[in-house]
Chain A
């Protein structure tokens, strides 16, 4: 993957496939520790202990179209090549939490990339689910919650082009404010 934002899109697709109704995505940066933590949590079907034990094996997958599952192993590799780590917690029937820590001063740190596109695609393509996106920098941050947006929109789908445009602009503006005017 050329951007970590693509890993986020990929990992969140697992939550969609797991039937989650709420998917929480957090991107948090700690400049002092030179760490970036990406967490994707869901309330989907979760995994059995056997599935959890095999989740890092690229030749283990529950899918039927092909016999490889590269998403989690690629995300783990991207974290570990910076000196970071990946952790997955899951409970059958309750949900899954995938968390990866990246060392931002590593030469092998993959750029975060266009998180805004990832979030807006996830929301607009899955309007029957809810998403909470949180971006943090040293404790400060902002949040975009589709629960709140749906209350305001009262039936207007989150896939409406004007709504998608609003979400893109909102995330970009808030990110720029948070990062002190620096684009992602």
Chain B
């Protein structure tokens, strides 16, 4: 059974680990469209999959956030990846099972998954 005492223990563990962290502009940002169109198309499991994959790999300097309607509803779920110093990459028609590949190839190894991008899908 989950208790508030357990949360207290999590706090103590996390505070020690947090000292080295920085949420600066140097972070890679993963932004998931979470307006009505995105949610209806399946953005919630996509966002969950990103946060779980990043936690599982203990990646530092990567943040996941949400935004409203990006304006291309027919391509939802849409995910934008902002790597500092590089052009924004827009992934479209995402699903939870595509997330691990984006994290491995793009976020970790720096290789854009071209076949999932808006440039490939919207041809």
Which residues in A have some Cβ–Cβ distance to B below 8 Å? 1, 6, 9-10, 13, 17, 63, 65-66, 69-71, 74, 114, 117-118, 121, 124-125, 148-149, 152-156, 160-164, 166, 169-170, 173
Contact = CB atoms under 8 A, between A and B. Distances in A.
A1 B51 contact: no
Given A152-B8, A152-B11, 9 more contacts: A9-B34, A9-B44, A13-B68, A65-B71, A70-B36, A74-B40, A121-B66, A154-B11, A170-B2
Nearest to B14: A156
Contacts of B35: 10, 13
Contacts of B4: 148, 152
Contacts of B18: 156
B39 A9 contact: yes
Nearest to A75: B36
A71 B36 contact: yes
Interface string B38-57: 01100011011001000100
B10 A17 contact: no
B7 A117 contact: no
A63 B69 contact: yes
B85 to A, nearest CB: 25
Q: Indicate the size class of the contact surface on chain B.
A: 20 to 34
18 contacts: A1-B40, A6-B40, A6-B44, A10-B35, A17-B68, A70-B37, A74-B36, A118-B44, A125-B47, A125-B66, A148-B4, A152-B11, A153-B11, A155-B15, A156-B11, A156-B15, A163-B7, A166-B7
Contacts of A125: 34, 47, 64-66
Given A6-B40, A152-B8, A121 B14 contact: no
A133 to B, nearest CB: 14
Contacts of A117: 44-45, 48
B39 to A, nearest CB: 5
Contact of A65 (B6, B13, B48, B69): B69
B36 A162 contact: no
A165 B8 CA distance: 14
Contact of A162 (B13, B64, B69): B13
A118 B45 CA distance: 10
A161 B59 CA distance: 11
B73 interface: yes
B68 A121 contact: no
B42 to A, nearest CB: 9
A121 B47 contact: yes
A6 B39 contact: yes
Nearest to A155: B15
A55 B64 CA distance: 31
A146 to B, nearest CB: 12
B70 interface: yes
Given A156-B14, A170-B2, A65 B40 contact: no
